[in-house]
Amino acid sequence: MPESARAQTVPAAASSTSPRVVLAQRQPVPRRLLPRLTTSPTSTATSTFSGKGYLNAYYNGHKDGCLISAGTWYTTGSCATYTATASGRHSTPRFIQVLFGWLTRSPLGSGFTLSSSKGSCGIVSGAFTCGSGVSATVFNAVSGKLAYNGASTFYASAVPTGSAQATVYTSSKTYSVSFQWQAI
């Protein structure tokens, strides 16, 4: 009999020749073996990213520019004002949450959308883009950083300097960059 079960012998009938029936009682599962109920990294997204703010760029651990209104990374000049709006959809598919063991106390609608003066922001052909014809993508936050599908690292083919701008991608390129929300 498994160690996790405790046996109790009970007479099947009052007669002494009756066979005995063994009932197994299940022991409680130790708390350390139970899945932990925690808040996923995405559940605080709308408390961090809400209202109006800037998306500051961090390259090699240092602040280095920001995103401008078209969604490109720029290191000189003014940052664009973005608006973060809570979304009714979740940016991380449920099967990925289960795969990585995220159990959430909040409903699945914990992501947010972004827009700039150019229009809605989304991932178009793997690039962060804002414009009038762009379908809004649901983003989330991981450790206070902008994230897409749970990943807070974005990429660029070059680090912008001077008046140059860099397209921001979700797939691996030469340089990695992250974006932190600065509420205004």
**pTM given for the model:** 0.65
State the pLDDT at residue 63.
95
Confidence of residue 77 (pLDDT cuts 50, 70, 90): confident
Place of tokens 């995405």: 42
Calculate ∠ Cα 39-27-7, nearest 5°. Answer: 170
Q: From its phi and psi, is residue 152 left (phi > 0), alpha (psi between -120 and 50) or beta?
A: alpha
pLDDT higher than threshold 60 for residue 25: no
pLDDT higher than threshold 50 for residue 35: no
Instruction: Report the distance separating Cα 130 and Cα 120, nearest Å.
Output: 5
Mean pLDDT of the chain: 77
Q: How many CB atoms neighbour CB 113 within 10 A?
A: 20
Instruction: Report the distance separating Cα 40 and Cα 5, nearest Å.
Output: 34
**Which has more confidence, 14 or 162?**
162
Instruction: Report the distance separating Cα 155 and Cα 94, nearest Å.
Output: 25
Q: Which domains does the chain have, with CATH numbers?
A: 41-183 (2.80.10)
In the chain, % of residues over pLDDT 70: 62
**Which has more confidence, 40 or 2?**
2
Q: How many CB atoms neighbour CB 155 within 10 A?
A: 18
